[in-house]
Homo-oligomer: A and B are copies of this chain.
Amino acid sequence: MKVTALAGGVGGAKLAEGLAQILSPDDLTIIVNTGDDFIHYGLSISPDLDTVCYTLAGMANPSTGWGLRDESWNTNNQLKKFDNPVWFQLGDKDLATHLERTRLLKDGMPLSVITNKFCKIWGIRHPILPMTDDRLATIVIDEQNRELDFQEYFVKHHYEPKIRSIRFDGIQYAKPAPGVAEALINSDLIIICPSNPFVSIDPILALPGILRIMQQKTVVSVSPIIGGQAVKGPLAKMILELTGETPSASFIAKYYRERGILSGYILDKKDDCLTSLINGWGIICEVIDTLMVDAESRARVAGLSMKIGNYLLRSK
């Protein structure tokens, strides 16, 4: 069975790693959000790609979920001596990734080729594709109609500004990266990782042709909301601010369902009470402890996604 996973952020990286544990490189492709990519100190930084790659390579910092393990902060500490607040933490080893990526981009190499090159160096066998080689920047518009780059909103302002809307700058020109549409078309099952739908998954769905392909496929998702809370990041706050609705696991299921792309869903045990509601929308649910704290729990959630996918494909 061919599977493609859509991922962004730490939760997305964790499920992607779980899937990589149980699926061969021939059977799993991971498509990663690049809407958070930004230029900082002149360097091209791809936070979601790095998080997914570092996690799959076993190089991720286990305590933060982002960045590298055994990292040092000599450059970052020196940067603090300039009278400019350092809001994005650049680890010394992580910096090498940004430097080399920037160098290759300036040489004209597409991000997808660079990512493939890095994956080989890092010993990652499963294909990881950036959603696009083009610029598509997630812009958050706050109550004062200020436009904030996503990393500014997320890291610099600790997602404190109340937001009114989100837009994807560059969407009129961006195309899916080579292999992205092909992977989705050739997949039996598409898994949407427990990522923020507004800023990690929507940028992927916004690319031309992607939503239509997904509407013709079996799609399973894992809830990024546990007990009404986001595991990490601004998702619960965003649901409230963008839609006025109560943050819940069922909101996410409804959100994807309204786009016609969800057939199976995994809820956390804490949200078991929402199962019949979501079933009522024609979505098959499974319940598990979705918090992925280690390799075993990542494989367990991945295994359950595959189980629902298998069930849905058999009963088609």
**A96 interface residue per 8 A CB criterion:** yes
Choose from B78, B81, B83, B103 the contact partner of A42 (Cβ within 8 Å).
B103
Question: Can you list the 4 inter-chain pairs with the closest CB atoms, starting with the nearest?
Answer: A78-B96, A74-B92, A42-B102, A41-B99
Convert A166-193 into 0s and 1s, putting 1 for each residue whose CB lies closer than 8 angstroms to a CB of B: 0000000000000000000000000000
**A242 interface residue per 8 A CB criterion:** no
Contact of A41 with B103 in the complex, beta carbons under 8 Å: yes
**A61 interface residue per 8 A CB criterion:** no
Convert A30-59 into 0s and 1s, putting 1 for each residue whose CB lies closer than 8 angstroms to a CB of B: 000000000111111000000000000000
Q: List 15 A-B contacts (CB under 8 A).
A: A40-B103, A42-B42, A42-B44, A42-B102, A43-B43, A43-B99, A72-B92, A75-B93, A75-B95, A78-B95, A79-B96, A79-B100, A81-B121, A82-B100, A82-B118
CA of A84 to CA of B40, assembled, Å: 23
Choose from B40, B44, B99, B121 the contact partner of A75 (Cβ within 8 Å).
B99
CA of A134 to CA of B15, assembled, Å: 50
Given known contacts A41-B102, A42-B103, A95 and B96 CB-to-CB distance under 8 angstroms:
no
**A106 interface residue per 8 A CB criterion:** yes
Q: Which of A64-102 contact B (CB under 8 A)?
A: 72, 74-76, 78-79, 81-84, 90, 92-93, 95-97, 99-100, 102
**Residues of A within 8 Å of B, CB-based: how many?**
29
CA of A100 to CA of B78, assembled, Å: 10
Instruction: Tell me the interface secondary structure of chain A in the complex.
Output: helix
A74 neighbours in B (Cβ, 8 Å) = 72, 74, 92-93
Whole-angstrom distance between the Cβ of A65 and the nearest chain B Cβ? 20
Whole-angstrom distance between the Cβ of A111 and the nearest chain B Cβ? 14
User: Nearest B residue to A42 by beta-carbon distance?
Assistant: B102
Whole-angstrom distance between the Cβ of A92 and the nearest chain B Cβ? 4
A106 neighbours in B (Cβ, 8 Å) = 39, 42
Contact of A75 with B96 in the complex, beta carbons under 8 Å: yes
Whole-angstrom distance between the Cβ of A168 and the nearest chain B Cβ? 23
Convert A118-132 into 0s and 1s, putting 1 for each residue whose CB lies closer than 8 angstroms to a CB of B: 100100000000000
A90 neighbours in B (Cβ, 8 Å) = 99
User: Nearest B residue to A122 by beta-carbon distance?
Assistant: B81
Contact of A84 with B100 in the complex, beta carbons under 8 Å: yes
Contact of B82 with A121 in the complex, beta carbons under 8 Å: yes
Q: Which of A4-50 contact B (CB under 8 A)?
A: 39-44
User: Nearest B residue to A79 by beta-carbon distance?
Assistant: B96
A118 neighbours in B (Cβ, 8 Å) = 82
Convert A231-254 into 0s and 1s, putting 1 for each residue whose CB lies closer than 8 angstroms to a CB of B: 000000000000000000000000
Contact of A81 with B96 in the complex, beta carbons under 8 Å: yes
CA of A121 to CA of B79, assembled, Å: 11
